[in-house]
Structure formats: structure tokens, C-alpha cells
Chains A and B, each alone.
Chain A
Amino acid sequence: MMDDDALDRALSALPLEEPPAGLHGRIMAATVFRPQTVTLGWEVWLIVTLAAAAGWLSWMVLSAPHASERLTDLIARLVDAGGLGSVNTLVWLAVGISAAWWLSQLTIPARRRIESP
């Protein structure tokens, strides 16, 4: 029977298998040369979740009986509740939005910074 030293010698002399030729390239492509993703992982999850929720909601609404009539009715009631049916409200809304837009375009000079001595 082979003794411990002989087995140790055989083990140390055992050549390692050569990895496949493309392994180094594959590892490098998956690590340092991996293209940077534009979105973060959690952003992708959020978008997918929201899209799935929106899809599910749309399906629920559209698959209900008389969905289109109900939807039209709901929109009309929301418009009425928000006062969007009145011309006055729409005019004031337009004035407010345009004022906000013009103000956002103004360049206000920054206060001069006082340097410490």
C-alpha cells in the first residue's frame, strides 16, 4: 500500500487542469470591462414594479363591466370636482402656470460671497 509521503508526493506532482482558453476573457468581460448600467438596480426594480402595478390596474379597470362608461363618468366627476369645467378656473390656472414658468426663467444675481481673510 502507498505510504503517506508517497501520496503527498503524488499529490504535489499532480498537474492542475488547464482552464478553457476563453475563461480569462470571459471573466474580464464580466468584471472590469463590463459596460456600466445606466440605471441602478433598485431603479429597475421600482420601474418594473410600477409598470406591473399599472398593467394590473388597467386590466382590472378595463375588464370590469361597462368599463368605458364608468371611466368616462369618473373623469367627468373629477373634472367637475376640481372645478376644471369652469372657464374662470382654467384662466387662473393658465395665469398661474405661465407666471411660474416666467419666474423660473429669470436669472437672479447671486449674492456676492464674502471671502474670509
Chain B
Amino acid sequence: MAAAAAMEPPIAAAVVDDQELIAATLAGRSDAFGELVGRYERAVYNLAVRTLRDRTEAEDAAQEAFFKAYRALHTFRPGAKFSTWIFTICYRGCCDRLAKRKRLSGDELPDRADPAPGPALLAERKDDAERLRRAIDELPEKYRTVITLYHLQGKQYEEIATVLNLPLGTVKTHLFRAKELLRKALTT
């Protein structure tokens, strides 16, 4: 298998879809999985950062999500979207971490704030994007995740509902409230 894989052209050179990359990974092509990781690591990391509000823990959560996905890759249903699948794995992992935090501290989902910002970061916050990012960070967890997935996946409500395991109506309600809160935060 390794010899056959060595004779194949590099995966990254060809424009292939996720399904082909998964098939190639299952056939023993490590570069195919590397390409998949390259496509989604940023989005997965951002989902974890927004959900956990802790960059170090988000890095671990992203790594764990890809590890779980790799181990369960043979169970991936053909025709399904890899992005939805990896986001679901990542989100569940983040929920477990949040629940663990809750158990350890006894508080109600104590989100960890990042360390106090330095002068450079304070200056950067004046930026609109940074204001929006901070406003998202200050949303309650359920709204924050919905708006993050809305940002990452676009207006694909069904995909968001699948990742969060919520009814479509709930997703739309959460999104509406999240946007309302964001608008208020950005106006004041």
C-alpha cells in the first residue's frame, strides 16, 4: 500500500473534494488527511475558541476533534458533509470540556476569559472587526456557538442544527436573539 501510495501524484496538487480525500485517507494516503486538516483546522479551531473562550484549550479541542475524526473515518457516511461532521465532533468535545469545567468549579458554565489585554490589543479593539469579535465573545454560550457556526458555515441552518443537535426552529430563534444582542452591543 505504501509503495502504491508513493507512486500517486501529490494530493494537494489536484483539486479534489472532501469525499475523495476521505477515500484516499482510508486507502493509506497520509497526505490526503493532511489536506483535509489544512482545509478545516482554521474553522475548527475558531469554533473551539469561540465556544471555550480559551485559546490553549481550543487548540487541544481542535486536535482532539481531528484525532476522533481520523479514528472514526471509516464510519463517515458517503454523501454527508465533512465540515458538518468535524464541527459536530468538535462541538461535542467542547461541550464535554465546558461540563468538566462546571463540575470542577461548581459554577454555571464558567467561561474562561482570555488574559487581560495589553496596550496593543486594546488599540486593536477599536477596530470594527475586533469590536464584533468581542461582542460575540460576550454572548451567552448557546448564542455564541450558533453565531459562530453561522459565520463559519454561512446561512446553512440545517447544518447548524445538525452540529448542535437542535431543532431547526430553535436554531433560528437562537440566531435571531444572538443577532439582536450583537446589534445592541455594537450600537452602544
Contacts and interface: CB of A to CB of B under 8 A. Distances in A.
A16 B62 CA distance: 15
Interface string B130-164: 00110000000000000100111000000000000
Interface string A25-69: 011101111000000000000000000000000000000000000
Interface string A7-28: 1001111111111100110111
Contacts of B43: 16
A1 B67 contact: no
Interface in B11-46: 25, 30, 33-34, 37-38, 41-43, 45-46
A51 B187 CA distance: 65
B121 interface: no
B182 interface: yes
Given A19-B62, A31-B70, A11 B151 contact: yes
**Interface size range on A against B:** 20 to 34
A31 B70 CA distance: 6
B183 interface: yes
Contacts, number: 78
B87 interface: no
A115 interface: no
Contacts of B25: 32
8 contacts: A10-B128, A14-B151, A16-B46, A18-B42, A27-B67, A28-B34, A30-B67, A32-B33
Interface of B: 25, 30, 33-34, 37-38, 41-43, 45-46, 49, 55, 59, 62-63, 66-67, 70, 128-129, 132-133, 147, 150-152, 179, 182-184, 186-187
A-B complex: 10 closest residue pairs judged by Cβ atoms: A19-B45, A32-B30, A31-B70, A27-B66, A1-B187, A16-B46, A2-B183, A30-B67, A11-B151, A27-B37
